[in-house]
Chain A
Amino acid sequence: MLRFLFDRDTWQEVFDSLSKNKLRSILTMVGVWWGILLLIGLLGSARGLENSFNRLFGSFATNSVFVWGQSTGMPFKGFQEGRRVKLSLTDAKKIEDNVEGIEFVLPRSQQSTIITRNFLSGSFQMAGDYPLLDQLQKKKLIHGRFINQNDINDRKKIAVISEDAYKQLFEVDEDPIGKYIEVNGINFKVVGMFETGNVNMGPSTDVHIPFTTFQQIYNRGDEIGWMMITGKPEYNIKQIEEDSKLLLKNLNHIHPDDSRAFGSFNLGKEFAKMTGFLTGMQFLTWFVGIATLIAGVFAIGNILLITVKERTKEIGLRRALGATPFEIKRQIVVEAVFITLVAGLFGIISGGWILIALDHFFGQGDDAAIVNASVSIGVVFAALLILVILGTLIGLIPATKATSIKPIEALREE
């Protein structure tokens, strides 16, 4: 069999019968080519969308929930309803220690404030933050650095500002690093500048200063604005949210059933909705892709069947001249596989072009809808392999049919 595959005559026969029957060869090839093309196009675009999605959210610890204090909705333990609930550093510490599956608890405080620099000023959201924030919500720093542990320990008066804040407070092309901005009469040295992201989770912040500094200048003491609770990847963030809230209620003398006392935004839950959509789309892609492939295989089978019918006489003659049924089948199957393979390779190449085109038109820039649209080569070759195997199997049907007709009947057929 192997010798047969490397025999020049074999391929001569294949090329002869394919090139002398151009129309049907081309039709078959178009069927397969289209199937592979569509599969690659679909899988590539789906991957591209997924990539763009991951790029948007990849900088966030998505298994997170934000919790802040509101006012109580139920009287409890002698406290009246409507009491302001204020979260504290102790609460954050307790949650970190006691709730199962916690990765980090990040306390934050935020305040709207007027910032001035020389003659320029503006109103900004300023937050006191820990270095950890940079880990959970990746800041794209254009210049300088983010807050570090030293800043926290020494309550340094430094600030990391957003590009927007920079534009309002600085002259064009001015280097902000090392310059001072004034907040509440206190000078802060700018140590870093970050790019304003496309997607903001939680309130947007223009200026970050060390948490400890923030607490001091606003006399906040232990009291924090809100906290970001991040769960370990294997834990369910909804459960963590419930556990944390229950613990917080316990610590703050709030009725366990009070649903108004704490506000929260569960990033994990929102994210899950999005990923669910993405999974659905992926499933759809595969479904359509595989259906197209199967259609392609049927196209091959169909055309082979017609071909064999067309060539009944030829096959009968070949058998009269001494071709064994096996030789006939082998020839038809080799033709089928060859045509499928060539068309499949063309499909892969042109599918690649489509992905390049997609990347060119939709994949440029930061807010691209499709990022790095691609298909893993393994998937492509698996698809091709499936196509070839199915093509062979389906090619066997007409081949068997062809050889089951007695040569004499075949020859009679006009």
Chain B
Amino acid sequence: MLKINQLHKSYKIGDSSLHVLKGIDLSVEEGEMVAIMGSSGSGKSTLLNIIGMLDEADEGEYILDGLPIKNLTEKKAAVYRNKFLGFIFQSFNLINYKNALENVALPLYYQGLKRKERLEKASYHLEKVGLSAWGHHLPKELSGGQKQRVAIARALAANPKLLLADEPTGALDTKTSHEIMAFIQHLNDEGKTILMVTHEEDIANMCKRIVRLRDGIILEDTKVNQVRAEQYV
């Protein structure tokens, strides 16, 4: 599904350069649920961004679903992002002047779907996250958990191969976090491959595999017994 070989990345900060990723090897199979952990500055977000084609590696190989991701034009990257990847962000990143339904439909707009088709699909996904009654509400009228569910619905709308979550529970309280995690686990049960960055141990333990990063290298890569989030809800 996803294969990374000797990935390097450094950022220029003024005159000096900061070597963030120092040779990452990672491969993720279909249906896995992987947590990437590490303290801040360990390079976990950078890794996720490169996997998400939001950023480019300096060196190394990145193959997504058999497709080498290298020297993409912005246009091509945009098409791939739309087709293969769904994003879930810590701060939800909903467009504040669009209602929930329109937010979910946005990736479909960039897929070039007709309006009617788009809204049909979007309301299907919104129903899946249990918010069909909230479709016409603006993000500011929704609670944090609801917003993240809208964001998840949006990530799912384009039916991506890989779901990337950047601290999906970072802005939520424990109870809501568990709800969201239960939801994400449910998606994984259905077969979605999920990659998430987190620094919370209990959240990481709700995944099936934990990859620990420190100073730009993989420190540890272990399979764990998944803790089901439902029990806390």
A residues with CB within 8 A of B: 8-9, 12, 16-17, 20-21, 313-314, 317-327, 403, 406-408, 411, 414
Contacts and interface: CB of A to CB of B under 8 A. Distances in A.
A180 to B, nearest CB: 87
Interface stretch (B62-70, B81-89, B120-128, B186-194): B81-89
A174 to B, nearest CB: 79
Contacts of A8: 115
Given A17-B97, A20-B97, A324-B75, A318 B106 contact: yes
A322 B157 CA distance: 12
Contact of A324 (B79, B87, B97, B107): B79
Interface centre among A321, A324, A327 (most CB of B within 10 A): A321
Interface residues of B, number: 28
Contacts of B91: 414
Leading 7 A-B pairs by shortest Cβ distance: A322-B82, A20-B97, A408-B54, A322-B110, A324-B78, A321-B107, A324-B75
Given A318-B110, A320-B81, A323-B110, A403 B97 contact: no
B154 interface: yes
B43 to A, nearest CB: 13
Interface in B90-121: 91, 93, 95-98, 102, 106-107, 109-111, 115
Contact of B82 (A20, A314, A317, A321): A321
Contacts of A414: 91
Contact of A322 (B81, B93, B95, B98): B81
Interface of A is mostly: helix
Given A21-B97, A326-B75, A320 B110 contact: no
A326 B154 CA distance: 22
In this complex, the member of A9, A12, A313 whose beta carbon has the largest number of chain B beta carbons within 10 angstroms is A9
B74 interface: yes
B52 interface: yes
Given A9-B115, A318-B110, A325 B54 contact: no
B111 A403 contact: no
Among A20, A320, A322, the most chain B Cβ lie within 10 Å of the Cβ of A322
Given A17-B97, A317-B93, A322 B111 contact: yes
Q: B interface, by DSSP: helix, strand, loop or mixed? A: helix
Contacts of A318: 106, 110
B176 interface: no
Given A21-B97, A314-B95, A324 B74 contact: yes
Contacts of B97: 16-17, 20-21
Contacts, number: 66
Contacts of B93: 313, 317, 320, 411
14 contacts: A16-B97, A20-B96, A317-B95, A319-B81, A320-B54, A320-B81, A320-B93, A321-B81, A321-B82, A321-B154, A322-B81, A322-B158, A408-B52, A411-B89
Contacts of A314: 95
A20 to B, nearest CB: 3
Interface in B22-77: 49, 52, 54-55, 74-75
A264 to B, nearest CB: 76
A17 B97 CA distance: 7
A321 B81 CA distance: 7
B83 A322 contact: yes
B89 A323 contact: no
Contacts of B95: 314, 317
Contacts of B111: 322
Contacts of A321: 81-82, 87, 106-107, 110, 154, 158
Contacts of A319: 78, 81
Given A9-B109, A317-B95, 4 more contacts: A9-B115, A16-B98, A17-B97, A324-B75
B27 to A, nearest CB: 23
Interface in B124-172: 154, 158
B75 A325 contact: yes
Nearest to B157: A321
Nearest to B75: A324
A324 B82 CA distance: 10
A6 to B, nearest CB: 13
A157 to B, nearest CB: 89
Contacts of B83: 322
Contacts of A16: 97-98, 102
A16 B97 CA distance: 7
A9 B154 CA distance: 18
Contacts of B87: 320-321
Contacts of B82: 321-322
A372 B75 CA distance: 55
Contacts of B75: 324-326
Nearest to A314: B95
Given A8-B115, A318-B110, A323 B78 contact: yes
Contacts of A317: 93, 95
A313 B90 CA distance: 13
Contacts of A326: 75
A356 to B, nearest CB: 38
Interface in B189-218: none
B161 to A, nearest CB: 14
Given A16-B98, A325-B75, A320 B52 contact: yes
Contacts of A408: 49, 52, 54-55
Nearest to B109: A9
A325 to B, nearest CB: 5
Nearest to B107: A321
Max chain A Cβ within 10 angstroms of own Cβ: one of B52, B78, B96: B78
